Structure 1
Amino acid sequence: MTTVGFLYPGHSAEDDYPRMEALFGIDIRLAVVHTDIGEDAHRVDALIEMGSPDRLAEGVAELRLAGAQSVVWACTSGSFVYGWEGAHEQTRTLARAAGLPASSTSFAFVHAARELGFERVAVAATYPEDVTGHFTAFLKSAGIEVVADRASGIITAAEVGTWEWDQVLALARAGDHPEAQAVLLPDTALHTAAYVPELEEALGKPVLTANQVSVWEGLRLAQRKVWAPKLGTLFASRE
């Protein structure tokens, strides 16, 4: 049994995780512990507080008891707002607290893009423009060119969690760009686990979504490779 632990802020799209666990159909467990979200706001100061060491440390003991072999802070905006160096320090602190390999959704996007050889991407974000800009800057720090970014201006994760297929598809299409090798949907509050293949078919290119890459990253840290084409290109290789 491989168990991956996720620290997930509040309650929005956490049901993506049992959905993905069921798709694997093998001995993989995705253990989710909810962290205190504080103020539900896609605003830089609120996001920095959301990702503070004390808030993350509160969920670590429960994940250890669940038998987690790796830990992912499943919040993109609550990591990239710290900047490239700050986000590294955040995950180092989390790893020390957990005594386990640790990462965040922001780094999951970077590692997934590198795994697939993407150099140019488009960002389709639910966030306000300034927060989206922080994600774009984070990707650029990783050497990934952002050829287009789309900001939707949504303030709360609670609202994002209500979005359904039509809205997710519209967001992805609005954020796409002809020069992009892939489209990135960075919000873990957005339900996407049921939609990835359909999004890729509609756009004609790979799509990376926050909860999808978070799971891939946790499995990577646990040194477990999984083939699950229903989760898109990222999980479609048997190598």
Structure 2
Amino acid sequence: MTIAGFLYPGYSAEGDYPVFAELLGPGTELRVVHTLMREDAHRVDALLDVGGDDVLGEGARELRALGADAAVWACTSGSFVFGWEGASEQAAAVGREAGCPASSTSFAFVNAVRALGLSRVAVAATYPDDVAGRFAEFLGRAGIEVAAWAGRGIVTAAEVGTLPPEDVLEFAAAGDHPDAEAVLVPDTALHTAGVLDALEERLGKTVLTANQVSVWEGLRLAGDTAPREGLGTLFRAGAAETAAQRT
């Protein structure tokens, strides 16, 4: 049994994780611990608080008690706002408290792009522009070229979590760029588990979403690298144990 643990801020699209668990099939458990969100806002100061060591440390210790084989801080904006070095320190601290390998959604995006051999992407972000721009900078630090990025300007995770599937499809398509090899859709508050193949069919290219890469990263760190169907190109390709690290 593989147990992947996730620290998830507040409540918005946590329903994606039971959907992923069902699609992954027997032999895999996804355990979600909800972490404190003092203020629901895609604003830098609020995001720095959401991803603080005190908040994540408490959740990570709970994952340790649950027997997690790997831990992922399942929040894109609450990791990349710390910058590359800060996000690396954040993930390392989670790993120490959880007693297992750890990462975050921001690094999961980087590792997924590298594992698929991609180098140029477009970003369709739900965030306000100042926050979305920080994600593009984070990707650039990893050597990933961002052909285009756009923010939708949604301030709260709660609002993002209400977007219906048809809106997600339209939003991702609007964020595409002809030079991009893939479209990245950050924000774990966005429901995407049920539309991964539909997204790729609509855009005609690889689409990576926040909850998707978070689950993939958790399984990868736990040593479960088997390919799966129904979860987009990323899962069909499996996860090489040598996928890029936080360097």
The SS at the match of 1:194 is coil
TM-superposition CA deviations, 1:86-139 (whole Å, max 9, x none): 111111111111121100000000000000011000000000000000000000
Separation of aligned partners in 2, 1:79 and 1:174: 25
Aligned to 2:106: 106
Aligned to 1:5: 5
**Aligned partners of 1:150 and 1:175 also within 8 Å:** yes
Aligned to 1:159: 159
User: What are the within-5 Å matches in structure 2 for residues 109-120 of structure 1?
Assistant: 109-120=109-120
How many residues are paired up?
239
- Percent of aligned positions that are identical: 63
User: What are the within-5 Å matches in structure 2 for residues 1-239 of structure 1?
Assistant: 1-237=1-237
TM-superposition CA deviations, 1:142-196 (whole Å, max 9, x none): 0000000010000000000000111101110111000000000000000000001
User: What amino acid sits opposite 2:178 in the alignment?
Assistant: P
Separation of aligned partners in 1, 2:237 and 2:180: 21
Separation of aligned partners in 2, 1:57 and 1:40: 19
The SS at the match of 2:34 is strand
**Aligned partners of 1:73 and 1:105 also within 8 Å:** yes
Q: TM-score, normalised by structure 2?
A: 0.95
Deviation at 1:59, TM superposition (A): 1.2
**Aligned partners of 2:64 and 2:97 also within 8 Å:** no
Separation of aligned partners in 1, 2:174 and 2:225: 32
Separation of aligned partners in 1, 2:60 and 2:89: 17
The SS at the match of 1:192 is coil
Deviation at 1:64, TM superposition (A): 1.6
Separation of aligned partners in 2, 1:229 and 1:118: 20
Deviation at 1:226, TM superposition (A): 2.9
Separation of aligned partners in 2, 1:185 and 1:226: 23
User: What amino acid sits opposite 1:42 in the alignment?
Assistant: H
User: What amino acid sits opposite 1:136 in the alignment?
Assistant: A
Separation of aligned partners in 1, 2:207 and 2:36: 29
**Aligned partners of 1:76 and 1:105 also within 8 Å:** yes
**Aligned partners of 2:80 and 2:87 also within 8 Å:** yes
Separation of aligned partners in 1, 2:16 and 2:223: 22
Where has structure 1 moved over 3 Å in runs of 4 or more? none
TM-superposition CA deviations, 1:58-80 (whole Å, max 9, x none): 11222122210010000000000
Deviating more after overlay: 167-176 vs 57-66: 57-66
Deviation at 1:25, TM superposition (A): 1.2
Separation of aligned partners in 2, 1:66 and 1:93: 18
Deviating more after overlay: 218-227 vs 25-34: 218-227
Separation of aligned partners in 2, 1:63 and 1:226: 23
User: What amino acid sits opposite 1:184 in the alignment?
Assistant: L
The SS at the match of 2:143 is coil
- Structure 2: gaps (5+ residues): 241-247
User: What amino acid sits opposite 2:57 in the alignment?
Assistant: A
**Aligned partners of 1:24 and 1:226 also within 8 Å:** no
